[in-house]
Structure 1
Amino acid sequence: MKRTHITRAAAGAATLAVLLATAACSSGTPKADGEQGTSNATKASGDFWSAHAGAAASEANPPASVPDLAGRSDLVVLGTITGAKEGKDYTDPGKPANRTSNVEIKVEKSSKPGVTGAVVEFTRDPGHNLKDITDSLPKGKYVFYLTSWYEGADGPVYSCAATAACVVAAKDGALQTPRDPEAAHELTKGTKSAAPAQAGKTAQAAPPGQRLNSADDVFALSTTR
C-alpha cells in the first residue's frame, strides 16, 4: 500500500513539472515600444503574418469600425508590401529576443498628398529571422492605418494605429485583418452599422449597401470626408 502511494505521488509531481514547463514556454515576450500590444502566436515557418501577429485582445479599446480606425490614424495608405529590413532591438538583458521588422510599403493612394512610400515597424515573433519574412512577403493590396513613431535614417517610420486592425483588406462584403483574422468580424459588423457621428477626422460612415469587396473600397471609405 505504501509503495502505491509513493508511485502516485511521483506521477503527480511529474505531471505538475510538465504543466509548469509548458506554461513557461508559452509566456509572452516584451513588446516593442511602437506597438500597442502583440500576440503570443507560435511560429508558422515562412509565414509573414504569423511572424508579425497582433491580437485585438491585447488592446484596451480596439476600433469598432473602419471610420473609427481611420479617425485614430495620422496616415492611411493603400499599397503593397515590397520588402522588409531589420528594425530596432528592444531586447531586455536576460530576456528572449525582441526585434522588429521595418516593413516597406509602395503607396498607391494616401490620405495625405505626396506620399509614395511608407515604412511601418512591426514587432516580430522571436521564432523568425529576417530571411523568414522576406521570403514570404504577402501579395496584393492592403490599407494601412498608421501613426507617427520615429524618424529613421531614411525618413519617417510609422507604427500601427491599432494592433489587430493595422492592416485591412476586403473580399465578398467582409473585411480581412491578417494580423488577427478574428478581429475582422466585429470590425465588419461595426463598419456596416456605423453612424456618421463616429466618423473621426478623415472618414464618414458607410451608407447602406457600402461595398467592401477590395482594399480600394476600404480606402475609399477611410478617406471620404
Structure 2
Amino acid sequence: MFVDKSIERENKLKDLIESTWIQFPKLGLYCEKEISYHKIFCKIQTVVSFKKLSEYFGIQIFESGPHSKYYLELNSPSEFGHYNPEFPLKLREYLIPAKTNPILYKVTLPIYESLLRNTAREFFIVFQKLDSNPKFFRKEAERYLLLVEENRLDPFYLDRFILFLYPAFTDNEDPEESSRFVYRKGDDNIDAQVVKELVGFWIRRKADGTDTEFILGLVDLLKLYDPEFYQYRTAQITN
C-alpha cells in the first residue's frame, strides 16, 4: 500500500503541535528561569529541535546566520539569524490549530492566558511603537545590518532601547530632529530587559524581511485568544 510521506509527515506535525499546546504547562519546568519568549522557546525545544522542525516543515528555517540545527547563538557580533521567508508562513499555517477546532480552543485558552498572553502582548506592543515610526524602524534595521556586516555590533548595543516604551524616549536630544512615536499609557510598565530583547527581535525581522509575516501570525494569535486586547490596541488614538 502506497503511503504519501508528505501527508504522513504533516499529520505527525499537526499531532505534535496539538499535544504541545495541551502539555505546554508541564514542559521544561527548568525553563522558568528564562524570561519572555526565551522561556517559551526553551519549553518548545524540549519537544522539537530546529532540525526536526525543519524536517517537518520541509524547509530550512534559517537562510544564514550563526545558529546551529539545535540551538540559537544569540551573542555573535558578526552574524544574526536570517529567517527563511517561508518559515513564518509555515508557522501561520500550522501553529494555531484551535482556529478550526473549538474543542481545542476551550482546552488551550486558559493555557494561553496563564503562560503565553503576556509575552504575546509584549511582542505586539513593542512592534506597534516601532511601526508607529516606519522611518525610524527601517533606519534602525539598516544600522543593525551595517554593524553586523562590519563586525562592530557591541554586545550591549540593545541597551539603548531599555527605555524604548517610555513616553520620553528619544533618539536625538534636539526636539526638532528626534523621532516621534505613538505612545499608550501603561506601556512603560513592561520590564525594561524584556523591552530591549523584543526591540532587537523586531529590528532583526525588519532587517531580514520577515517582520510582516511574523506580525500577521501574531495578529492571528491575538484575534483568536485575546480579541479585546487586539481591538483596544488597534483603535484610533491621539497623543
TM-score by length of 1: 0.29
| Larger CA Rg, structure 1 vs 2 | 1
TM-score by length of 2: 0.28
| Structure with greater strand percent | 1
